[in-house]
């Protein structure tokens, strides 16, 4: 649902992988974004309208992606696809960050474009904070590279762990990852990868980067 840049790209990828694709858009001109060799079908209409969805083959659909420019249309489309037609895999792109979180809680998987983009840009413009590398499936444990204040240089791994309460998963030194021993002395150029619950992030950043008082 929605043949903008995202919708057209998704349709192209799925089509190229051999899936059967139907693209819905209110504006027939939007279908010009599809490649000339696109083999799927295009349906002009409102994406949460039953007739439109049915002519797009919603009853046989394995998945439904709502990626139009309207948050409200996307959520209506996603809900109708799931509640009315029982489509198994449904996802909605939502710009408004708070609404995205609400719908996620209500059981509609969302892609929060604005939050994601802003986060990526923040990482690029402020390369000082911890950068997340892994999050466990429950979202309660994070692995992140945490930059260190120079006052940590010359101190050992155990001291950093005790001060932050985090675990050092590994240290990247001279281009290779090494497992830390408690007595490993931290030195300039080390990249420290810490494991910690995501809620602890700011406190740990404060200790590692701004030498705020930790546990020690």
Q: What angle do CA 185, 188, 194 make, to 5 degrees?
A: 65
Q: Which residues in 59-78 contact other proteins (CB under 8 A)? A: 70-73, 75-76
Q: Per CB under 8 A, does 79 bind other proteins? A: yes
What is d(CA 139, CA 133) in angstroms, rounded to the nearest whole number? 12
Q: Which of 11, 80, 146, 171 binds other proteins (CB under 8 A)?
A: 80
The residues, ordered by sequence, that sit 6+ positions from 205 with a Cβ below 8 Å of its Cβ are 129, 130, 146
3-state secondary structure of 185: strand
Q: Per CB under 8 A, does 106 bind other proteins? A: yes
What is d(CA 51, CA 124) in angstroms, rounded to the nearest whole number? 45
Entry field: residues in the chain? 216
Q: Which of 49, 159, 200, 212 binds other proteins (CB under 8 A)?
A: 49
Whole-number minimum distance, CB 127 to other proteins, in Å?
29
Please choose, out of 44-52, 60-68, 151-159, 199-207, the segment that lies near other proteins by the rule CB under 8 A.
44-52
99 or 167, CB closer to other proteins? 99
Site residues (CB under 8 A) for other proteins? Answer: 48-50, 70-73, 75-76, 79-80, 83, 96, 98-99, 102, 106
């Amino acid at each position: 649902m929605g043949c903008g840049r995202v919708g057209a790209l998704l349709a192209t990828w799925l089509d190229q992988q051999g899936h059967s694709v139907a693209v819905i858009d209110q504006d027939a001109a939007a279908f010009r974004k599809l490649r000339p060799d696109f083999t799927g079908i295009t349906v002009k209409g409102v994406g949460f309208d039953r007739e439109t969805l049915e002519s797009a083959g919603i009853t046989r659909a394995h998945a439904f992606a709502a990626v139009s420019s309207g948050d409200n249309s996307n959520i209506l489309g996603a809900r109708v696809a799931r509640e009315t037609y029982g489509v198994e895999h449904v996802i909605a792109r939502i710009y408004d960050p708070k609404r995205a979180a609400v719908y996620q809680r209500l059981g509609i998987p969302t892609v929060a474009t604005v939050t994601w983009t802003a986060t990526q840009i923040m990482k690029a413009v402020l390369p000082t904070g911890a950068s997340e590398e892994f999050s466990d499936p429950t979202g309660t444990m994070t692995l992140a590279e945490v930059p260190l204040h120079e006052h940590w240089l010359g101190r050992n791994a155990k001291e950093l762990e005790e001060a932050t309460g985090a675990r050092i998963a590994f240290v990247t030194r001279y281009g290779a990852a090494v497992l830390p021993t408690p007595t490993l002395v931290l030195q300039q150029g080390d990249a420290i990868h810490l494991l910690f619950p995501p809620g602890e992030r700011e406190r740990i950043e404060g200790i590692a980067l701004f030498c705020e008082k930790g546990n020690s």
